[in-house]
Structure 1
Amino acid sequence: MMPEFLMRFRALLKKESRQLIRDKSSLAIGLLLPVVLILLFGYGLSFDLSNGRVGVVAEEPSPQSRQLMSGLQGSRYLSAQQYSNYPEAVAAIKNDEIDAILVIPATFAADSAQGQAHLQLLLNGRSTSIASAMQGYVSGAIAATSAIQAERQHAGAPAAMVTVEQRMWFNESSNSTWYLVPGLIVLILTLIGAFLTCLLIARERERGTLEALFVTPVRPFELVLAKLAPYFVIGMIDIAVCLTASYFLFDVPMRASMLAIFSASLMYLLVSLLLGLAISGYSSSQFQASQIALLASFMPALMLSGFVFDTRNLPMAVQAVSHVLPATHFMTLIKTLFLGGDDWALWLKECGILMIYVIVLAAASARSLKKQLR
């Protein structure tokens, strides 16, 4: 029994490997597209704000207001521009020329001497992430300027002053690249895995080559294994490329062991490949298979896996859908492994769920072929 299986599997594997090598488009998708995606999204996608534009309106110029303006201009995250009046600054923020308006009242100098100065900060809410970052940068620059001014005047700190010492765990540099790159690995494996295999069976069905297997003793499960094996090797190369780029190009820490990261990635790669193969088995054409693969794999992984949005903020019904997606489970696991370190309890839980997907999708793929081979 086993020698017969090995003979059939070796013949099928030889056929699928030759077909992959001859198909230049599949090789390009499998080997070149991951490099393009990791470089494009890794360098081009960022939630950080490096050049916040703030307009300053001083109702009555004073040494204190000029010092505050200098403090804003001295921040490497901000570019400050002074406006002569408030309507001019409002027009600038409406035209998207600045991201915030800082209003310095006429009583700022007198109030500063009494330790009760107030400022008004108006933020452009078109982008909540930019507005939140601007609020933090401007507040930090104002606090630093006030501390310098108090030190120069040899003034004691106000009695009600509270100093907050902040620490950020897991992403101490507060760099969004550390958050994004592990998620990009999920998206790349989802896209590459599903699209590499979603056309396999549908393409053979269109070309008529699938019928040649009907008269052979090949079993559906053997055909599934043979079709997966070459693309699994391509996927392993893609994982190595992604991990290498993460560490050497984007300086993302890998605090977990390579065994945990690579094994979890291989498990999810297998899920993605089987998902594409199942879609291909039940599709009547390559166009239909590609459209279903896009809607069933990449788009949900992008929108509902936690890559961009925290799933806890979504409605309960959408949360339920997100937890059905294998990408959601791998997203949680890979980010924890990259930034938090080894968590074998979480690894066992999430990889166990992924293994269930492997079994279900493998059975579905074999079933889609079994009907054709009877």
Structure 2
Amino acid sequence: MNASGFVRRFAALLRKEVHQMLRDRSNLAVGLLLPAMLILLFGYGLSFDVKNAPVAVVMEDGSPTARQVLDGLQGSVYLSPVWMKSMPEAEARLRAGEVDGIVRVPMDFSRRLAMGDARIQLVLNGVDSNTANTLEGYVGGAVGKWAQGLADRAGGKAAGGAGVDVVQRMWFNEAGISTWYLVPGLIALVLTLIGAFLTSLLIAREWERGTLESLFVTPVRPLEVVLAKLTPYLFVGAIDIALCLLAARFLFDVPIRGSLPVIVAVSLLYLAVSLLLGLFISGKTRNQFQASQLALLTSYMPALMLSGFVFDLRNVPVAIQVVSHLLPATHFMGLVKTLFLSGNHWPTILKSAGILSLYVVVLIHATRATLRKTLD
């Protein structure tokens, strides 16, 4: 008798919980859609492989022998040679981040090869130390393959070297320290996290408590509400920016080669984007639990996995690249790394700052629309 009563009570409670779960679509989406998204994202979207990396090739020695040395760069799925006329042109492309490295064949290459002491210069962009080290291996392997073929044709003499050395030089991260690459990206992650989560509960909390309706009978306009909620957290975020910069410089010894006022300005601009995104989510959901979930799914996780923080976005499928470039974190991530390690590259600064400013304008209008003086 007691067993049958337990079964009836349990069945009734189970039906209630199932119906409640089916009605709560946000929880159901997290439980079913989030794992599927993570599986697809990690399986197809994340890659530590380096493929089709653009490499500038400067042939100061135009002899057939010199060109044969770099035949291994042609047709490779890992390298995409971009032929340049001069070293200054190639260096400009490297500073702009348009190529990941420079392969330079000096004008005395053929003469020194005949003496068994030829050299090829390899300049790498050390902002991404993982990509730089991988490229060094690819280029060295291509030259080594040619050298081995030359040695085989010569009857095994100078096998494995053929008197050709690849002289490597790292730009922007001379020591090849991964911390220099990761810490600027961590600043972007910190601003994303604190920005979205600081404000994602503000409007939703007032909707749940019923205090927001009292503002509807006042002359206060939605834009004024948005700006009033945004401003205090900009000051809090500014303190966090200062802490991040102090830690980067004095704890992790990361060089700051760009202008410090520019770094602070663009960081505040990105912080405003993150705060406004949190406010928009809060105003749209009107529920604190849903707002916190959406803030995590739409801000921190994409910034962590799709912004170029860990790996080069050029190595992921085109669809993932398109999605990543719609994220404000992607533009700030590349900009802050450039400012820290490369310096003031104004075309990059103006382009990224312009995109972030556009996000600010769009999110202000979108958030204001969630605060219309109407009751649903």
Name the TM-score, length of structure 2 as normaliser. Answer: 0.57
Pairing 1:225-374 to 2, within 5 Å after superposition: 225-372=227-374
Distance 2:287 2:305 in 1: 27
Q: Give the superposition deviation at 1:209.
A: 1.2
Bigger relative contact order, structure 1 or 2 (CA pairs below 8 A, ≥6 apart)? 1
Q: Secondary structure at the match of 1:163?
A: strand
- Considering only aligned residues, what root-mean-square deviation do their CA atoms show, in Å? 2.6
Pairing 1:22-101 to 2, within 5 Å after superposition: none
Whether contact under 8 Å (2:203, 2:286) holds in the other structure is no
Q: Give the superposition deviation at 1:162.
A: 2.8
**Shift in CA distance, 321/132, structure 1 to aligned 2, threshold 3 Å:** closer
Distance 1:206 1:305 in 2: 34
Q: Give the superposition deviation at 1:215.
A: 1.2
Distance 1:294 1:157 in 2: 56
Whether contact under 8 Å (2:172, 2:342) holds in the other structure is yes
Runs (4 or more) in structure 1 with deviation over 4 Å come to 156-159
1:31-65 residue CA offsets vs partner (Å, 9 max, x unmatched): xxxxxxxxxxxxxxxxxxxxxxxxxxxxxxxxxxx
1:263-316 residue CA offsets vs partner (Å, 9 max, x unmatched): 110110000000000000001310000001100000000000000121101111
Q: Which runs of 5+ in 1 are unaligned?
A: 1-127, 140-155
Q: Give the superposition deviation at 1:372.
A: 3.7
2:166 is aligned with what amino acid? Answer: V
Aligned to 1:14: none
**Shift in CA distance, 189/372, structure 1 to aligned 2, threshold 3 Å:** farther
1:215 is aligned with what amino acid? Answer: V
Whether contact under 8 Å (1:213, 1:373) holds in the other structure is no
Aligned to 1:117: none
1:206 is aligned with what amino acid? Answer: E
Q: Which runs of 5+ in 2 are unaligned?
A: 1-129, 142-157
Distance 1:243 1:275 in 2: 23
Identity %: 65
2:337 is aligned with what amino acid? Answer: K
Whether contact under 8 Å (1:337, 1:343) holds in the other structure is yes
**Shift in CA distance, 159/302, structure 1 to aligned 2, threshold 3 Å:** closer
Name the TM-score, length of structure 1 as normaliser. Answer: 0.57
**Shift in CA distance, 132/168, structure 1 to aligned 2, threshold 3 Å:** closer
Pairing 1:197-216 to 2, within 5 Å after superposition: 197-216=199-218
